[in-house]
């Protein structure tokens, strides 16, 4: 297959480029320097130029808090860009996989969310991602939406790197302990998205690493992985750490459809974190020499 990946410079996009090549497919990666998908004609030009067999849409405006004040930019990056990409894919009959988020849910259901659960985003970012989903699912050409959560991976910024930096600067950290979800390693998600692209399974899927924790629990596991005392991470409540964009209290995404495809279960988030630390050690040691 020849697969076109949008958002190729992001942590998921870079993981996708590697996963697709590793699976023996051809890949083309595009990002904003190549053209803005929200602009008329750009998506169609990409498809005419590269003629992919499948598109994985990993590009997005992801600054959740900033989206509250940059509503037009977030809407352009998430809604308009996706609508135009979906229309371009429809015009040439190219299937599309769109990567979405747990933030399309309000988090009020403490048991978590199946693929067909009612969406009710709490913030503007989640609202734009929900409307992007609608554009993809309305396509005449086969399409799928894959929701994930709490993504971390090989990039310049993520929760793991932030915790590592703050633990080097401060003796203790306060991290919210009443928001639950599943940390997800970008290379694991990328491998799954690549495998899904070869199937004829369409619609909505949930894909995260296995297991559930809080941000505080995630931070404590990060501290342990760094050889530090996890007790340095102090639990606090969401109301003690206000943010411009409200967060869902429960971001647990239940995966009820992927097992029917015979795909292997996803590794635990703890296993993924350990592999990420190994990657950081190998690559940072290489960069230092």
Placement of tokens 């950081």 in the chain: 280
How far is Cα 103 from Cα 145, in angstroms, rounded to an integer? 14
Q: What are 70-79's contacts with CB under 8 Å, separation 24+?
A: 71/124, 74/124, 74/125, 74/128, 75/128, 76/38, 77/38, 77/128, 78/125, 78/128, 78/129, 78/131, 78/132, 79/128, 79/131, 79/132, 79/135
Nearest Cα neighbor of 74 from 21, 27, 123 is: 123
Active-site residue flag, 125: yes
Using CA atoms, how far residue 48 sits from 91, 120, 209, 227, in Å, is 11, 36, 35, 51
DSSP percent split of the chain into helix, strand, coil, nearest 5:
45, 20, 40
Longest dimension (CA), the chain: 56
Name the phi and psi angles at 163, rounded to 5.
-65, -40
- Check 61, 103, 125, 276 and give the catalytic one: 125
If DSSP codes are grouped into helix, strand and coil, which group holds residue 142? coil
| Number of neighbouring beta carbons within 10 Å of residue 271 | 15
Tokens representing 48 are 């005419």
Active site residue ranges: 125
């Amino acid at each position: 297959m020849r697969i076109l990946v949008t958002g190729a410079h992001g942590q998921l996009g870079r993981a996708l480029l590697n996963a697709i090549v590793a699976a023996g497919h051809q890949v083309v990666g595009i990002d904003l320097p190549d053209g803005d998908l929200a602009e008329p004609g750009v998506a169609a030009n990409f498809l005419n130029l590269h003629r992919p067999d499948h598109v994985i849409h990993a590009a997005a405006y992801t600054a959740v808090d900033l989206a509250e004040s940059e509503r037009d930019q977030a809407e352009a990056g998430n809604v308009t860009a996706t609508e135009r990409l979906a229309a371009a894919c429809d015009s040439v009959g190219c299937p599309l996989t769109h990567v979405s988020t747990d933030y399309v849910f309000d988090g009020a259901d403490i048991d978590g969310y199946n693929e067909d659960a009612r969406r009710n985003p709490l913030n503007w970012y989640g609202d734009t991602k929900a409307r992007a989903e609608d554009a993809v699912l309305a396509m005449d050409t086969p399409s799928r939406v894959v929701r994930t959560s709490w993504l971390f991976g090989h990039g310049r910024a993520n929760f793991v790197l932030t915790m590592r930096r703050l633990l080097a600067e401060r003796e203790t950290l306060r991290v919210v302990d009443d928001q639950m979800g599943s940390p997800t390693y970008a290379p694991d998600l990328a491998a799954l998205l690549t495998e899904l692209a070869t199937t004829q399974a369409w619609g909505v899927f949930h894909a995260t690493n296995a297991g559930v924790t809080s941000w505080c629990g995630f931070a404590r596991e990060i501290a342990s992985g760094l050889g530090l005392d996890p007790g340095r991470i102090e639990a606090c409540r969401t109301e003690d750490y206000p943010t411009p964009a409200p967060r869902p209290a429960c971001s647990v995404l239940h995966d009820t459809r992927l097992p029917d495809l015979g795909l292997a279960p996803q590794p635990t988030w703890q296993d993924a974190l350990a592999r990420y630390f190994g990657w950081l050690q190998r690559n940072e040691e290489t960069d230092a020499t």
